[in-house]
Amino acid sequence: MTNNKRSWSPPQIIWSAIIATVVWSAAGFNWFGPGFNWMTQGVAMKMSTNAVTENLATICVAQAHSALDAEATLKEFAGLSTYKQPTFVETSGWATMPGGDSATSGVAKLCATKLRT
């Protein structure tokens, strides 16, 4: 009996692997591609940070409106220039979350923006 098995040469193996990789990559990208919302870790971290800041700013606005002297303080806030308002929000304690020691980064600025509207 003769052995009819054909052995693959190294170039054939390499080219087969390359073609298979390209085919599977194309198929995978079509199945899980643009509609699958690929993102980097940096983009995901920024999105989550923005979401947290947005939620904390909403709490900040609620704290501003529920303060004991809210009406007078908000009038004072409205009289300030736009660039001084975030500092006013920080010093008034609105941007400091319950149980926290200091304002969270970016919350006072977003809170001031929300209070202006």
C-alpha–C-alpha distance, residues 24 and 58, integer Å: 46
pLDDT tens digits, 29-60? 667 666 566 677 888 899 999 999 999 999 99
Judge whether 13 lies within some domain. no
Is 51 a domain residue?
A: yes
pLDDT for the residue 27: 77
pTM, 2 dp: 0.66
Domain annotation covers residue 96: yes
Assess if residue 34 is contained within a domain. Answer: no
Span 10-34, pLDDT tens digits: 889 899 999 999 988 877 766 766 6
Nearest to 95 by CA among 48, 70, 67, 59: 59
Residue 70 lies in a domain: yes
Domain count, the chain: 1
Residue 75 lies in a domain: yes
69 within some domain: yes
> Cβ of 115: how many Cβ atoms within 10 Å?
19
Q: Which domain range does residue 93 map to?
A: 41-116
Read off the pLDDT of residues 86-99 as tens digits, 9 standing for 90 and up.
Answer: 999 999 999 999 88
Residue 66 lies in a domain: yes
